[in-house]
Structure 1
Amino acid sequence: MIDLSSCFKPPSQNGIIKMNNEFLGGLTLKKWIWIVITIVIAASVGGYAYARHSQNEKLYNDSMQRASLQISNKNYIAAETSFTNALKRKPSDKKATRLLSQTQNYMAANDSFSDRDYNSAKDGYQSVVDTRNGNETLKDRSKGKLSTIKTIQGNLKKYNKIYNQALNETGEGNYTQSNSTLDKILSDQTAKQSYYKSILNKAKQLRSKNNASLSGNTTTTPSSSSSTNEFESSTSNSSTQNNPNVAPNSSDSLTSSEKKAANAYKGSNEFTVNPKKNRINGQQITESQVNSARKEISAAEVDSNAMSDQDIKNIIKGAHDNHETIGQYVKARYK
């Protein structure tokens, strides 16, 4: 008979150990392979996120530096755009928001100054100076403007006092004395600056009338009631002076039923809107900002004359909330 036991000889103890080691070694190798793959994937994802964050941070810093440079170069609109771009990289960033608001306040104050609205300009420049951790260049320039406004208003007060005295003398028929009084304005080199153009022209016109009366070419005597106090008009806060869209008070022309309906009106307009909706960073939107925004809206080829002050304030707030300039905001929504 054939002995089959030799064909089914069980493996030796050493053979079993060797097989187990090979099996376990295979498992260990696979485990390490997956660990390495996991590490590579994690590193790739982390590296991408870090690279994206670094790129975003770089673009933010570039925009902020560019804005600062534009302010130094007095390119305020470009600075406004750069701050807006920085906010696109870091929405709600306090520093960019603060500097953007400060820049816009300075621009609005400049517009008021150019319009000879010195009271609004003074308020605007003061808000720039009061900005905590704001741009120091804007603060220094605002301080200079505030000093200039103080000088201008002081001179306007002096010149108007002289003019009114001369006007009274003309009204009394003292034409020679009136001319002598007017010389205090006409011979003053400071009065020839552009800030005083209006009062200087009035002084020249009154002198011409005095000379005409002295030469006997006219019997018309200027009335003191024709005097217009330029200092008062330059420091007036009347909205009808600064906003061509505000109509004079017409309540006297309303019928009793119209007045009753007006009093019963419960809607929301620029007079009934919640004041909190007209605030940016806790500060009320000023008349100076409204006037400046109107110019930017018109420059964007949108009819600002068809908008109320509240419409303008809504645009200012909307542009701020969307991190856009006034021009960008209205072009996207009103054209």
Structure 2
Amino acid sequence: MKRWIWIVITLVIALSIGGYAFARHSQNEKLYTDAMQRGSLQISNKNYTAAETAYTNALKRKPNDEKASTILNQTQSFMSANDLFKDREFANAKSGYQSVANTKSGSELLKNRAQSQLTLIKTIQSNIKKYDAIYNQALNETGEGKYAESNSTLDKIFSDKSIKQSYYKDVLQKAEKLRDKNNSALNGSSSSTSNDFESSNSSSNSNTTNNPNVAPNKNASLTSSEKKAAANYKGSNEYTVTPSQKEINGKEITASQIASARKQISAAGIDSNAMSDQDVRNVIKGAHNSNESIGKYVKAHY
């Protein structure tokens, strides 16, 4: 009789433990599913920080879940690319969006948005290249004392319907600054303005090989390689960038790092003399963010 009672008690305990474990598992599955659905909804609403939190919570329920881990990483990459885009670091943002677009088994919505951003960046970079070519022509004309001709050239920038967009803020500011110098010269202080302008260019750009978009002093002569570098230059003025654009993880990119990167860029078949120091910094940052060597990165993006 006693043995029978113990058997019943044992069965009751076993069933209770099993039922508790099953209920706990079911609850955990429900919380995981809810978190995944919430993450998807937040991506749809463009609330990426909330989506990041949701997928993090999903991983707490299933620490090794590949789906949640993949979309979490994809979301974080998209957020990082968005930050770079807002800072007008278009080359680095492009790498980030490309990573999002290439993610397998991730969010299709994030892929589509990344592709749209890549298309937009392509347009922006094309326009910047066009504006820089116009600005460099105007800069040379100012250096030669042709202030009216320089203003006429700059009008091609000011009359473009896209120039007022925030993407081109740096280009617009330097064009307006050059126009102001031209106007000062045309209004009667041509000699002093010209000398001040050339002196400013000389002090801010002692090496025209590394900064070929800045017009040299009109009395200085260029070597054939320097002229080639100036003609081939497609970057932006490094003196208009923010401090963060000269750093990696909060540490400033040193001159020795830039010099080393130039050697690697040249070894990859790219003319590093046609790049400003900031262009080289962008390559260093892009390679770092993509976990690629400088040679591999520059071949793919330049």
Which residue identity is paired with 2:180?
A: S
Comparing 242-251 and 193-202, the one that deviates more:
242-251
CA contact (8 A) 1:102 1:134 kept: yes
Tell me which residue corresponds to 2:86. Answer: 114
Tell me which residue corresponds to 1:204. Answer: 176
Structure 1 residues 78-117: aligned runs within 5 Å:
78-117=50-89
Which one has a bigger Cα radius of gyration? 1
Tell me which residue corresponds to 1:133. Answer: 105
CA contact (8 A) 1:87 1:97 kept: yes
Tell me which residue corresponds to 1:195. Answer: 167
- TM-score, structure 2 normalization: 0.67
**Deviation (angstroms), 1:133:** 0.7
Tell me which residue corresponds to 1:246. Answer: 252
CA contact (8 A) 2:139 2:150 kept: yes
Q: For 1:95 and 1:189, locate their aligned partners in 2 and report how far apart those are by CA, in whole Å.
A: 44
Give the 3 Å change call, closer, same or farther, for CA 196–230 of structure 1 in structure 2: farther
Is 2:24 the counterpart of 1:52?
Answer: yes
Which residue identity is paired with 1:231?
A: G
Is 2:126 the counterpart of 1:154?
Answer: yes
- TM-score, structure 1 normalization: 0.61
Give the 3 Å change call, closer, same or farther, for CA 77–233 of structure 1 in structure 2: farther
The answer for unaligned runs of 5 or more in structure 1 is 1-26, 252-284, 291-335
CA RMSD between the two structures:
2.9
Tell me which residue corresponds to 1:22. Answer: none
Comparing 149-158 and 70-79, the one that deviates more:
70-79
Tell me which residue corresponds to 1:272. Answer: none
Which residue identity is paired with 1:174?
A: K
Q: For 2:91 and 2:102, locate their aligned partners in 1 and report how far apart those are by CA, in whole Å.
A: 17
Between Structure 1 and Structure 2, how many residues are aligned? 227
Q: Over residues 153-181 of structure 1, what are the superposed CA-to-partner deviations in whole Å (9 max), with x where a residue is unaligned?
A: 00000000000001111112222211111
Which residue identity is paired with 1:103?
A: T
CA contact (8 A) 2:78 2:97 kept: yes
Is 2:140 the counterpart of 1:168?
Answer: yes
CA contact (8 A) 1:106 1:128 kept: yes
Tell me which residue corresponds to 2:188. Answer: 216
CA contact (8 A) 1:87 1:96 kept: yes
Tell me which residue corresponds to 1:142. Answer: 114
* Percent pairwise identity: 58
Which residue identity is paired with 1:125?
A: Y
Is 2:235 the counterpart of 1:231?
Answer: yes
SS at match of 1:218: helix
**Runs of 4+ residues over 3 Å off in structure 1:** 30-39, 222-234, 285-290
**Deviation (angstroms), 1:40:** 2.6
Q: For 1:233 and 1:287, locate their aligned partners in 2 and report how far apart those are by CA, in whole Å.
A: 22
CA contact (8 A) 2:35 2:58 kept: yes
Tell me which residue corresponds to 1:314. Answer: none
Tell me which residue corresponds to 2:297. Answer: none
Tell me which residue corresponds to 1:332. Answer: none
